[in-house]
Structure 1
Amino acid sequence: MNVAFRIENVLFAIALGAFLLLLLLEKWHPHRKFSARRLRQSFSTNTSAFLFNTMTMNIFSATSLLLIASNYSHYGLLSHFNNNLFKLIFSFILFDFAVYVWHFFGHKSEYLWRFHKIHHSDKSIHVSTGLRFHIVDQFFEVIFKCLCTVIIGVGAHVVIVCELLRMLFVFFHHANVSLPGEKWLSYVVITPSLHRAHHSTLRSEHDSNYGIVLAIWDIVFGTRKELAPKKIGLELAEAENFVQLFSLAFVTEARFARMLHLLPRLGATSTRKRAANFSSD
């Protein structure tokens, strides 16, 4: 227990240090230059969302994962294995695949997308974009992870270690930096250049590269795209502060367009398809 606790503290310190280091690298050698005003606005909105989500969700999230893992993980696939390095690595691989699946459906489900698109609404991608999420999106994700904890069958502290490692990589692949040898590294883990395509304004481009840590899932399931997007963010929506960011999920682009009579009155099937396109672009 004490060893696991120390590992969690070390990983948290590494993730925090990586966040600060990436901020400095972005300032010194940015991959793409954004205006100072846009960066300040984005950073302020992202950190506000993070602080609100953390205060609201942290206790629930950590408590839920620990409670579920402590009481129900003995039913899972890996429950009969000893808590060793093999189990930690295999658990991490399975968790990473599970989050890939969740991310995929976050784009394909119109209902889930209305909350996940908050993350994509940032028109400048940088390390703090990894903090930009809607609280409802995080709530659903915690429920999904609790279910995965039971199915996979891992202990509570293994789950926390997996979460901290994942947070470290989320900071990394959102960073506005270029790395030497990144093309080859991108066949092992998700890199900034790969994830940049995932934040493209075009749906045909941002419906790709769903991986969080390991690159193998996008390769195996054919969702990998290597490209440099011309524009970042959502085309019809922009949030300049935390309140607008939170509200964006409840006023879809399609509904807003209909309110302004920008969409013709089509048949039910055509209207639904058109609305889905507006909500996803």
Structure 2
Amino acid sequence: MNDYHLQRKKFFDEAISRTGFRSQAPLTATFRIPCHLFSKLQIQVQEYLKASCGSNEFHEGDLQKALTEFPTKAKNISTSGIVIPKSYCDNKFTEVHQTIAEIMEQSQIADVVEFWIYPFNIRLKGTLPGSDSRAYPTELPHSETWVGCSLRSVLLHIPILGDLSNNLLKVWMPGERFEASWLKPLSSYHEAQDLIQDSTELDVNNIPGNMLMVDSSLLHGTHRTSSAGARVSIDLNVVLKSYDANIYKDDANLLVERQKLSNEHFFKIGKSLRVTSPDGEDDIFNPPDGMRHPANIKLVKI
């Protein structure tokens, strides 16, 4: 680690010391999800996928076949694999959120959270890598700051369903040439090829039943072996109180107020609030501002 990462590690370690997360590699940590909540989350995510493509189109007896064929049957999947909450599945999205909130309560993370970047992503990664012609293929090691996320953010990643051994998230520590100036919006992940080549993979405990936390100054990306099947995971970004806003200034991030969710509202979803979307199958949401996200949602009272 260079001096910049050593400095960030102090703020990162301060935050996780007040939670149920435990660190294995620098600037990463994991939380073991209680078995009953992880099983509940798996079931609810599968129900969300069914609602997305039509229950009759989902092969309940063959999960891998269902996941492989999902992109041909569901119209609410983005080029990066996000299964977008729309009007016909927003109630199932709300149910998934409620269980995630229960998991977060168990992890004791709320006390160190300034705000949640919303919505989170239920993401399906198939067997084929994203096209190199795309500006932001998630197969390339990257930081969320490169698409406009806060310098004070961390990524939370939960592997859920499918081939979680051969199709998984990997994490890298940038090399000594890394500087704070790298943590800003880029026009393409391909801009950072030199930085990527100079990075070292970290040994993180990214297994089913664990929630992985990754500091935004590290790099992460989808890795598949040659025999990999499809998988589903959840990723969400959160801004922590422990990072000094005078040091890690957010003048370059693209977040807008509608994308920032307080603890109060986060933990009310599924209880007194729910997620709703006006969009149908063929509607495409192009946000006028903020971090680009394909979900057109709002919170309403139940």
TM-score, normalised on structure 1? 0.30
Please say which structure displays the higher CA radius of gyration. Answer: 1
Q: Structure 1 or 2: larger strand share?
A: 2
TM-score (norm 2): 0.28
